[in-house]
Structure 1
Protein backbone atom coordinates (compact mmCIF):
# COMPACT_ATOMS: atom_id res chain seq x y z
CA UNK A 1 0.00 0.00 0.00
CA UNK A 2 1.14 3.63 -0.29
CA UNK A 3 3.39 4.99 2.43
CA UNK A 4 1.44 6.32 5.40
CA UNK A 5 2.50 9.57 7.05
CA UNK A 6 4.18 9.21 10.43
CA UNK A 7 2.08 12.00 11.92
CA UNK A 8 -1.08 10.09 11.03
CA UNK A 9 0.13 6.90 12.74
CA UNK A 10 1.21 8.76 15.88
CA UNK A 11 -1.99 10.82 16.01
CA UNK A 12 -4.13 7.69 15.64
CA UNK A 13 -2.28 6.04 18.54
CA UNK A 14 -2.48 9.20 20.68
CA UNK A 15 -6.23 9.38 20.18
CA UNK A 16 -6.71 6.00 21.87
CA UNK A 17 -7.81 7.55 25.12
CA UNK A 18 -7.98 4.24 26.94
CA UNK A 19 -4.16 4.16 26.90
CA UNK A 20 -4.09 0.63 25.53
CA UNK A 21 -1.94 1.12 22.46
CA UNK A 22 1.01 3.01 21.07
CA UNK A 23 2.80 2.89 17.73
CA UNK A 24 6.17 1.17 17.32
CA UNK A 25 9.09 2.56 15.36
CA UNK A 26 11.89 0.21 14.28
CA UNK A 27 15.36 1.12 13.05
CA UNK A 28 16.59 0.09 9.60
CA UNK A 29 20.20 -0.73 8.73
CA UNK A 30 20.32 -3.41 6.02
CA UNK A 31 17.66 -4.41 3.49
CA UNK A 32 16.70 -7.32 5.75
CA UNK A 33 15.55 -4.83 8.40
CA UNK A 34 12.65 -3.25 6.47
CA UNK A 35 11.71 -6.66 5.07
CA UNK A 36 11.51 -8.04 8.61
CA UNK A 37 9.65 -4.99 9.94
CA UNK A 38 7.07 -5.21 7.15
CA UNK A 39 6.63 -8.96 7.65
CA UNK A 40 6.37 -8.54 11.42
CA UNK A 41 3.79 -5.78 11.05
CA UNK A 42 1.73 -7.98 8.74
CA UNK A 43 2.04 -10.91 11.16
CA UNK A 44 0.90 -8.78 14.11
CA UNK A 45 -1.75 -6.90 12.14
CA UNK A 46 -0.36 -3.55 13.29
CA UNK A 47 1.10 -0.42 11.66
CA UNK A 48 4.74 0.50 12.18
CA UNK A 49 7.27 3.24 11.51
CA UNK A 50 10.49 2.42 9.65
CA UNK A 51 13.32 4.62 10.92
CA UNK A 52 16.62 5.35 9.22
CA UNK A 53 19.05 7.08 11.57
CA UNK A 54 21.85 9.48 10.73
CA UNK A 55 24.28 6.73 11.78
CA UNK A 56 22.64 4.30 9.34
CA UNK A 57 22.99 6.90 6.58
CA UNK A 58 26.69 7.23 7.45
CA UNK A 59 27.00 3.45 7.20
CA UNK A 60 25.62 3.70 3.67
CA UNK A 61 28.25 6.21 2.59
CA UNK A 62 26.50 9.31 3.89
CA UNK A 63 23.95 9.21 1.09
CA UNK A 64 20.33 8.60 2.21
CA UNK A 65 18.78 8.13 -1.24
CA UNK A 66 19.49 4.43 -1.79
CA UNK A 67 18.59 3.13 1.67
CA UNK A 68 15.51 5.37 1.76
CA UNK A 69 14.36 4.22 -1.67
CA UNK A 70 14.84 0.55 -0.80
CA UNK A 71 13.04 0.92 2.52
CA UNK A 72 10.18 2.83 0.92
CA UNK A 73 9.86 0.19 -1.80
CA UNK A 74 9.54 -2.56 0.81
CA UNK A 75 6.94 -0.51 2.69
CA UNK A 76 4.87 0.13 -0.43
CA UNK A 77 4.84 -3.58 -1.25
CA UNK A 78 3.54 -4.45 2.22
CA UNK A 79 -0.08 -4.92 3.27
CA UNK A 80 0.69 -3.20 6.59
CA UNK A 81 0.40 0.58 7.11
CA UNK A 82 4.03 1.76 7.25
CA UNK A 83 5.71 5.15 7.30
CA UNK A 84 9.27 6.35 6.68
CA UNK A 85 11.06 8.39 9.36
CA UNK A 86 14.54 9.95 9.47
CA UNK A 87 15.90 9.44 12.99
CA UNK A 88 18.37 11.22 15.28
CA UNK A 89 19.41 13.84 12.75
CA UNK A 90 22.03 16.30 13.93
CA UNK A 91 23.22 17.44 10.49
CA UNK A 92 21.33 20.35 8.92
CA UNK A 93 22.35 19.00 5.51
CA UNK A 94 20.78 15.61 6.21
CA UNK A 95 17.66 17.26 7.62
CA UNK A 96 17.16 19.06 4.33
CA UNK A 97 17.77 15.84 2.39
CA UNK A 98 14.60 14.42 3.98
CA UNK A 99 12.55 16.50 1.59
CA UNK A 100 12.14 14.49 -1.59
CA UNK A 101 13.39 11.13 -0.24
CA UNK A 102 9.99 9.87 0.93
CA UNK A 103 10.38 10.79 4.61
CA UNK A 104 7.23 12.26 6.14
CA UNK A 105 8.95 12.89 9.47
CA UNK A 106 12.29 13.65 11.07
CA UNK A 107 13.61 13.35 14.60
CA UNK A 108 15.88 16.40 14.88
CA UNK A 109 18.33 15.81 17.72
CA UNK A 110 19.84 18.91 19.31
CA UNK A 111 19.93 17.32 22.78
CA UNK A 112 23.71 17.61 23.05
CA UNK A 113 23.40 21.40 22.96
CA UNK A 114 22.60 23.74 25.83
CA UNK A 115 18.89 24.25 26.42
CA UNK A 116 18.90 27.65 24.70
CA UNK A 117 20.83 26.37 21.68
CA UNK A 118 18.60 23.28 21.50
CA UNK A 119 15.49 25.49 21.41
CA UNK A 120 16.91 27.75 18.70
CA UNK A 121 18.12 24.92 16.45
CA UNK A 122 14.94 22.88 16.90
CA UNK A 123 12.64 25.83 16.24
CA UNK A 124 14.51 26.44 12.99
CA UNK A 125 14.18 22.76 12.03
CA UNK A 126 10.46 22.82 12.83
CA UNK A 127 9.89 25.93 10.72
CA UNK A 128 11.73 24.30 7.82
CA UNK A 129 9.86 21.01 8.20
CA UNK A 130 6.39 22.46 8.61
CA UNK A 131 6.84 24.56 5.49
CA UNK A 132 7.24 21.27 3.61
CA UNK A 133 4.65 19.20 5.45
CA UNK A 134 7.27 17.25 7.43
CA UNK A 135 6.42 16.21 11.00
CA UNK A 136 9.22 16.96 13.49
CA UNK A 137 10.15 15.10 16.67
CA UNK A 138 12.79 16.43 19.08
CA UNK A 139 14.44 15.38 22.34
CA UNK A 140 14.59 17.10 25.70
CA UNK A 141 16.73 15.53 28.42
CA UNK A 142 19.40 12.99 27.58
CA UNK A 143 18.63 9.39 26.65
CA UNK A 144 22.05 7.76 27.08
CA UNK A 145 23.80 5.09 25.03
CA UNK A 146 23.93 6.88 21.68
CA UNK A 147 26.66 5.77 19.30
CA UNK A 148 30.00 7.31 20.21
CA UNK A 149 28.85 8.62 23.59
CA UNK A 150 29.78 7.34 27.03
CA UNK A 151 26.90 5.78 28.95
CA UNK A 152 24.78 8.10 31.05
CA UNK A 153 23.41 7.09 34.42
CA UNK A 154 19.61 7.17 34.40
CA UNK A 155 19.72 9.21 37.61
CA UNK A 156 22.50 11.62 36.61
CA UNK A 157 21.72 15.33 37.10
CA UNK A 158 20.08 16.90 34.07
CA UNK A 159 19.39 13.57 32.38
CA UNK A 160 15.66 13.18 33.03
CA UNK A 161 13.18 15.49 31.34
CA UNK A 162 11.67 18.16 33.56
CA UNK A 163 7.91 18.66 32.95
CA UNK A 164 8.00 22.44 33.40
CA UNK A 165 10.93 22.72 31.01
CA UNK A 166 9.09 20.45 28.57
CA UNK A 167 6.11 22.82 28.52
CA UNK A 168 8.36 25.76 27.70
CA UNK A 169 10.31 23.75 25.12
CA UNK A 170 7.25 22.58 23.21
CA UNK A 171 5.82 26.10 23.21
CA UNK A 172 9.09 27.66 22.04
CA UNK A 173 9.88 25.14 19.30
CA UNK A 174 6.48 24.02 17.98
CA UNK A 175 7.58 20.36 17.78
CA UNK A 176 5.03 17.71 16.82
CA UNK A 177 6.30 15.10 19.31
CA UNK A 178 8.75 15.05 22.19
CA UNK A 179 11.25 12.31 23.04
CA UNK A 180 11.75 12.32 26.80
CA UNK A 181 14.30 10.81 29.17
CA UNK A 182 12.47 8.69 31.74
CA UNK A 183 14.92 5.89 32.54
CA UNK A 184 15.60 4.06 29.27
CA UNK A 185 18.90 4.01 27.37
CA UNK A 186 19.95 3.37 23.78
CA UNK A 187 21.87 0.23 22.80
CA UNK A 188 20.81 -1.94 25.75
CA UNK A 189 21.11 -5.66 25.01
CA UNK A 190 19.45 -6.75 28.27
CA UNK A 191 15.85 -5.82 29.04
CA UNK A 192 16.43 -4.51 32.55
CA UNK A 193 15.53 -0.80 32.35
CA UNK A 194 13.10 0.50 34.99
CA UNK A 195 11.11 3.51 33.84
CA UNK A 196 9.92 6.44 35.94
CA UNK A 197 6.17 6.03 35.42
CA UNK A 198 5.32 8.91 37.73
CA UNK A 199 7.43 11.20 35.55
CA UNK A 200 5.79 9.83 32.39
CA UNK A 201 2.38 10.70 33.82
CA UNK A 202 3.54 14.17 34.81
CA UNK A 203 4.96 14.81 31.34
CA UNK A 204 1.76 13.53 29.71
CA UNK A 205 -0.32 15.94 31.79
CA UNK A 206 2.08 18.81 31.13
CA UNK A 207 2.45 18.75 27.34
CA UNK A 208 -0.11 18.33 24.59
CA UNK A 209 2.15 16.72 21.98
CA UNK A 210 2.73 12.93 21.84
CA UNK A 211 5.58 11.56 23.95
CA UNK A 212 8.28 9.30 22.49
CA UNK A 213 10.25 6.60 24.31
CA UNK A 214 13.74 5.99 22.92
CA UNK A 215 15.88 3.02 23.90
CA UNK A 216 12.93 0.64 24.28
CA UNK A 217 14.96 -2.48 23.41
CA UNK A 218 16.15 -2.53 27.02
CA UNK A 219 12.68 -2.09 28.53
CA UNK A 220 10.76 -5.21 29.70
CA UNK A 221 7.31 -5.88 28.24
CA UNK A 222 5.40 -4.96 31.41
CA UNK A 223 7.33 -1.70 31.69
CA UNK A 224 6.45 -0.85 28.08
CA UNK A 225 2.77 -1.62 28.71
CA UNK A 226 2.78 0.62 31.79
CA UNK A 227 4.58 3.38 29.87
CA UNK A 228 2.00 3.32 27.09
CA UNK A 229 -0.84 3.33 29.63
CA UNK A 230 0.82 6.31 31.36
CA UNK A 231 1.05 8.32 28.16
CA UNK A 232 3.96 7.26 25.92
CA UNK A 233 2.82 7.05 22.29
CA UNK A 234 5.74 6.39 19.91
CA UNK A 235 7.99 3.57 21.11
CA UNK A 236 11.40 3.23 19.41
CA UNK A 237 13.09 -0.17 19.03
CA UNK A 238 16.45 -0.77 17.36
CA UNK A 239 19.00 -2.84 19.26
CA UNK A 240 16.57 -5.73 19.85
CA UNK A 241 16.39 -6.32 16.10
CA UNK A 242 20.17 -6.34 15.80
CA UNK A 243 20.48 -8.71 18.76
CA UNK A 244 18.09 -11.17 17.08
CA UNK A 245 19.80 -10.73 13.70
CA UNK A 246 23.32 -11.30 15.03
CA UNK A 247 22.35 -14.27 17.20
CA UNK A 248 20.79 -16.02 14.20
CA UNK A 249 23.82 -15.35 12.00
CA UNK A 250 26.21 -16.52 14.71
CA UNK A 251 24.19 -19.70 15.33
CA UNK A 252 24.16 -20.59 11.63
CA UNK A 253 27.88 -19.98 11.14
CA UNK A 254 28.79 -21.92 14.27
CA UNK A 255 26.67 -24.85 13.05
CA UNK A 256 28.05 -24.64 9.51
CA UNK A 257 31.33 -22.69 9.48
CA UNK A 258 31.92 -23.53 5.81
CA UNK A 259 28.92 -21.43 4.69
CA UNK A 260 29.86 -18.77 2.15
CA UNK A 261 26.45 -17.94 0.64
CA UNK A 262 25.11 -15.04 2.76
CA UNK A 263 21.52 -16.01 1.96
CA UNK A 264 21.99 -19.09 4.12
CA UNK A 265 22.43 -17.01 7.26
CA UNK A 266 20.58 -13.83 6.28
CA UNK A 267 17.30 -15.72 5.84
CA UNK A 268 17.19 -16.97 9.47
CA UNK A 269 18.46 -13.58 10.64
CA UNK A 270 15.59 -11.84 8.85
CA UNK A 271 13.09 -14.33 10.30
CA UNK A 272 14.48 -13.76 13.79
CA UNK A 273 13.95 -10.02 13.39
CA UNK A 274 10.44 -10.62 12.02
CA UNK A 275 9.51 -12.52 15.17
CA UNK A 276 11.01 -9.79 17.34
CA UNK A 277 9.05 -7.09 15.50
CA UNK A 278 5.78 -8.99 15.82
CA UNK A 279 6.37 -9.57 19.54
CA UNK A 280 7.08 -5.88 20.23
CA UNK A 281 4.07 -4.81 18.17
CA UNK A 282 1.75 -7.00 20.21
CA UNK A 283 3.06 -5.42 23.41
CA UNK A 284 3.13 -1.85 22.17
CA UNK A 285 -0.05 -1.94 20.13
CA UNK A 286 -2.18 -3.42 22.91
Structure 2
Protein backbone atom coordinates (compact mmCIF):
# COMPACT_ATOMS: atom_id res chain seq x y z
CA UNK A 1 0.00 0.00 0.00
CA UNK A 2 2.82 2.40 0.84
CA UNK A 3 4.61 1.68 -2.44
CA UNK A 4 1.47 2.19 -4.51
CA UNK A 5 0.84 5.56 -2.84
CA UNK A 6 4.14 6.66 -4.39
CA UNK A 7 3.58 5.06 -7.84
CA UNK A 8 6.06 2.29 -7.09
CA UNK A 9 5.32 -1.22 -8.32
CA UNK A 10 5.97 -4.23 -6.11
CA UNK A 11 7.49 -7.53 -7.16
CA UNK A 12 6.89 -10.22 -4.55
CA UNK A 13 8.48 -13.66 -4.30
CA UNK A 14 6.64 -16.82 -3.27
CA UNK A 15 8.62 -20.03 -2.84
CA UNK A 16 12.31 -20.44 -2.06
CA UNK A 17 15.22 -20.40 -4.51
CA UNK A 18 18.40 -22.21 -3.53
CA UNK A 19 21.78 -20.52 -3.85
CA UNK A 20 23.35 -17.29 -2.70
CA UNK A 21 22.24 -13.74 -3.51
CA UNK A 22 24.05 -10.91 -1.76
CA UNK A 23 24.14 -12.06 1.89
CA UNK A 24 21.06 -14.30 1.67
CA UNK A 25 21.63 -18.03 1.28
CA UNK A 26 19.26 -20.98 0.99
CA UNK A 27 20.46 -24.57 0.84
CA UNK A 28 17.25 -25.98 -0.62
CA UNK A 29 14.60 -24.70 -2.97
CA UNK A 30 10.88 -25.10 -2.50
CA UNK A 31 8.61 -24.77 -5.51
CA UNK A 32 5.88 -22.20 -5.39
CA UNK A 33 2.58 -23.90 -4.51
CA UNK A 34 -0.01 -22.94 -7.15
CA UNK A 35 -2.81 -23.25 -4.59
CA UNK A 36 -1.28 -20.37 -2.60
CA UNK A 37 -0.79 -17.78 -5.35
CA UNK A 38 -4.28 -16.27 -5.50
CA UNK A 39 -4.42 -15.60 -1.76
CA UNK A 40 -0.83 -14.32 -1.71
CA UNK A 41 -1.24 -11.96 -4.69
CA UNK A 42 -4.57 -10.69 -3.39
CA UNK A 43 -3.46 -10.08 0.19
CA UNK A 44 -0.13 -8.47 -0.71
CA UNK A 45 -1.42 -6.44 -3.65
CA UNK A 46 1.83 -7.19 -5.51
CA UNK A 47 2.11 -6.16 -9.14
CA UNK A 48 4.21 -9.13 -10.26
CA UNK A 49 5.10 -12.46 -8.71
CA UNK A 50 8.49 -14.16 -8.73
CA UNK A 51 7.98 -17.90 -8.51
CA UNK A 52 10.20 -20.88 -7.79
CA UNK A 53 10.17 -23.59 -10.47
CA UNK A 54 13.74 -24.85 -10.25
CA UNK A 55 15.88 -21.80 -10.90
CA UNK A 56 18.59 -20.87 -8.41
CA UNK A 57 20.86 -17.95 -7.58
CA UNK A 58 24.51 -17.80 -8.61
CA UNK A 59 26.78 -19.70 -11.01
CA UNK A 60 26.34 -23.02 -9.18
CA UNK A 61 22.62 -23.53 -9.58
CA UNK A 62 22.76 -27.27 -9.14
CA UNK A 63 24.94 -29.75 -7.32
CA UNK A 64 26.57 -32.34 -9.59
CA UNK A 65 24.43 -35.09 -8.06
CA UNK A 66 21.28 -33.23 -9.19
CA UNK A 67 22.48 -33.32 -12.80
CA UNK A 68 23.44 -35.83 -15.44
CA UNK A 69 26.64 -35.58 -17.50
CA UNK A 70 26.72 -35.25 -21.24
CA UNK A 71 28.79 -38.29 -22.30
CA UNK A 72 30.32 -36.38 -25.24
CA UNK A 73 31.42 -33.23 -23.42
CA UNK A 74 31.49 -34.26 -19.77
CA UNK A 75 29.50 -31.10 -18.98
CA UNK A 76 26.70 -31.15 -16.43
CA UNK A 77 23.12 -31.21 -17.70
CA UNK A 78 20.74 -29.67 -15.14
CA UNK A 79 17.29 -30.99 -14.29
CA UNK A 80 14.43 -29.38 -16.23
CA UNK A 81 12.40 -26.51 -14.87
CA UNK A 82 8.99 -27.38 -13.40
CA UNK A 83 6.86 -26.05 -16.24
CA UNK A 84 3.86 -27.88 -14.81
CA UNK A 85 4.05 -25.57 -11.77
CA UNK A 86 4.38 -22.50 -14.01
CA UNK A 87 1.35 -23.52 -16.11
CA UNK A 88 -0.72 -24.24 -12.99
CA UNK A 89 0.12 -20.75 -11.69
CA UNK A 90 -0.81 -19.21 -15.05
CA UNK A 91 -4.24 -20.85 -14.77
CA UNK A 92 -4.71 -19.54 -11.22
CA UNK A 93 -3.58 -16.00 -12.11
CA UNK A 94 -4.44 -15.47 -15.79
CA UNK A 95 -2.63 -12.48 -17.27
CA UNK A 96 -0.66 -11.79 -14.08
CA UNK A 97 3.03 -10.87 -14.64
CA UNK A 98 5.29 -13.73 -13.55
CA UNK A 99 9.02 -13.34 -12.84
CA UNK A 100 11.88 -15.85 -12.72
CA UNK A 101 14.80 -15.03 -10.43
CA UNK A 102 18.11 -16.89 -10.63
CA UNK A 103 17.77 -17.72 -14.32
CA UNK A 104 21.28 -17.24 -15.67
CA UNK A 105 22.29 -19.87 -18.19
CA UNK A 106 25.94 -19.71 -17.04
CA UNK A 107 27.38 -19.72 -20.59
CA UNK A 108 29.98 -22.45 -20.77
CA UNK A 109 32.18 -20.46 -23.19
CA UNK A 110 32.53 -17.75 -20.53
CA UNK A 111 33.17 -20.35 -17.80
CA UNK A 112 35.78 -22.00 -20.03
CA UNK A 113 37.48 -18.64 -20.67
CA UNK A 114 37.57 -17.88 -16.95
CA UNK A 115 39.02 -21.30 -16.16
CA UNK A 116 41.57 -21.07 -18.99
CA UNK A 117 42.86 -17.80 -17.57
CA UNK A 118 43.33 -18.73 -13.93
CA UNK A 119 39.76 -18.99 -12.68
CA UNK A 120 38.32 -21.89 -10.76
CA UNK A 121 34.68 -22.50 -11.60
CA UNK A 122 34.43 -26.29 -11.80
CA UNK A 123 30.97 -27.66 -12.59
CA UNK A 124 29.33 -24.23 -12.86
CA UNK A 125 26.02 -24.80 -14.62
CA UNK A 126 22.88 -22.78 -15.27
CA UNK A 127 19.43 -22.87 -16.81
CA UNK A 128 19.50 -24.06 -20.46
CA UNK A 129 18.63 -21.28 -22.87
CA UNK A 130 15.95 -23.34 -24.61
CA UNK A 131 14.08 -23.57 -21.29
CA UNK A 132 14.33 -19.80 -20.85
CA UNK A 133 12.93 -19.37 -24.39
CA UNK A 134 9.99 -21.57 -23.45
CA UNK A 135 9.40 -19.61 -20.24
CA UNK A 136 9.49 -16.31 -22.13
CA UNK A 137 6.56 -17.48 -24.26
CA UNK A 138 4.37 -17.90 -21.15
CA UNK A 139 3.17 -15.43 -18.52
CA UNK A 140 6.81 -14.86 -17.54
CA UNK A 141 7.53 -11.22 -18.33
CA UNK A 142 10.88 -10.79 -16.54
CA UNK A 143 13.82 -13.17 -16.30
CA UNK A 144 16.78 -12.27 -14.08
CA UNK A 145 20.21 -13.20 -15.54
CA UNK A 146 22.70 -11.19 -13.48
CA UNK A 147 25.26 -14.00 -13.08
CA UNK A 148 25.62 -14.22 -16.87
CA UNK A 149 26.64 -10.57 -16.93
CA UNK A 150 29.18 -11.10 -14.16
CA UNK A 151 30.63 -14.12 -15.97
CA UNK A 152 30.94 -12.21 -19.27
CA UNK A 153 32.73 -9.34 -17.55
CA UNK A 154 35.03 -11.59 -15.52
CA UNK A 155 35.93 -13.73 -18.53
CA UNK A 156 36.95 -10.69 -20.58
CA UNK A 157 38.97 -9.19 -17.72
CA UNK A 158 40.79 -12.44 -16.89
CA UNK A 159 41.66 -12.97 -20.56
CA UNK A 160 42.85 -9.38 -20.90
CA UNK A 161 45.11 -9.56 -17.82
CA UNK A 162 46.53 -12.88 -18.99
CA UNK A 163 47.38 -11.40 -22.40
CA UNK A 164 48.49 -7.98 -21.07
CA UNK A 165 50.07 -8.51 -17.63
CA UNK A 166 51.81 -5.14 -17.86
CA UNK A 167 48.54 -3.16 -18.02
CA UNK A 168 46.91 -1.66 -14.95
CA UNK A 169 44.59 1.08 -16.25
CA UNK A 170 40.90 0.17 -15.80
CA UNK A 171 40.13 1.97 -19.06
CA UNK A 172 42.18 -0.69 -20.84
CA UNK A 173 40.58 -3.83 -19.40
CA UNK A 174 37.06 -2.50 -18.83
CA UNK A 175 36.58 -1.72 -22.52
CA UNK A 176 36.67 -5.38 -23.65
CA UNK A 177 34.69 -6.32 -20.54
CA UNK A 178 31.88 -3.91 -21.47
CA UNK A 179 31.95 -5.14 -25.08
CA UNK A 180 31.65 -8.75 -23.94
CA UNK A 181 28.72 -7.89 -21.67
CA UNK A 182 27.04 -5.98 -24.51
CA UNK A 183 27.46 -8.98 -26.83
CA UNK A 184 25.98 -11.29 -24.19
CA UNK A 185 22.98 -9.02 -23.55
CA UNK A 186 22.26 -8.61 -27.26
CA UNK A 187 22.26 -12.40 -27.64
CA UNK A 188 19.96 -12.85 -24.64
CA UNK A 189 17.52 -10.11 -25.69
CA UNK A 190 17.22 -11.28 -29.30
CA UNK A 191 17.82 -15.04 -29.20
CA UNK A 192 16.72 -16.13 -25.72
CA UNK A 193 14.35 -13.78 -23.91
CA UNK A 194 12.39 -12.63 -26.95
CA UNK A 195 12.31 -9.05 -25.67
CA UNK A 196 13.73 -7.26 -28.70
CA UNK A 197 11.45 -4.65 -30.33
CA UNK A 198 9.09 -4.74 -27.32
CA UNK A 199 9.80 -1.27 -25.93
Which interval holds the TM-score relative to the shorter structure?
0.7 to 0.9
Aligned length: 156
Matched, 1:147 2:22: yes
Match of 2:90 in 1: 204
Match of 1:167 in 2: 38
Match of 2:47 in 1: 176
Alpha-carbon deviations, 1:201-241, whole Å to 9, x = none?
11111124210001110221100011122331111110000
Distance, in Å, in 2 between the alignment partners of 1:284 and 1:193 is 20
Matched, 1:230 2:138: yes
Quick check: 1:189–1:240 contact (8 Å CA) kept in 2?
Answer: no
269 and 193 in structure 1: CA distance in 2 versus 1, 3 angstrom threshold: farther
Quick check: 1:189–1:239 contact (8 Å CA) kept in 2?
Answer: no
Q: Shift of the alpha carbon at 1:250?
A: 0.4
Alpha-carbon deviations, 1:232-269, whole Å to 9, x = none?
11111100000000010000001111101111110000
Quick check: 2:55–2:102 contact (8 Å CA) kept in 1?
Answer: yes
Matched, 1:213 2:100: yes
Distance, in Å, in 1 between the alignment partners of 2:139 and 2:11 is 16
Bigger fraction of residues in helix: 1
Instruction: Structure 1 unaligned segments of length 5 or more: list them.
Output: 1-126
Match of 2:194 in 1: 285
- Work out which structure has the larger RCO, using CA pairs closer than 8 Å and 6 or more positions apart in sequence: 1
Cα RMSD (Å) of the superposition?
1.8
TM-score of the aligned structures, taking structure 2 as reference length: 0.73
Alpha-carbon deviations, 1:42-93, whole Å to 9, x = none?
xxxxxxxxxxxxxxxxxxxxxxxxxxxxxxxxxxxxxxxxxxxxxxxxxxxx
Quick check: 2:16–2:28 contact (8 Å CA) kept in 1?
Answer: no
Q: Return 223-232 or 173-182, whichever deviates more.
A: 223-232
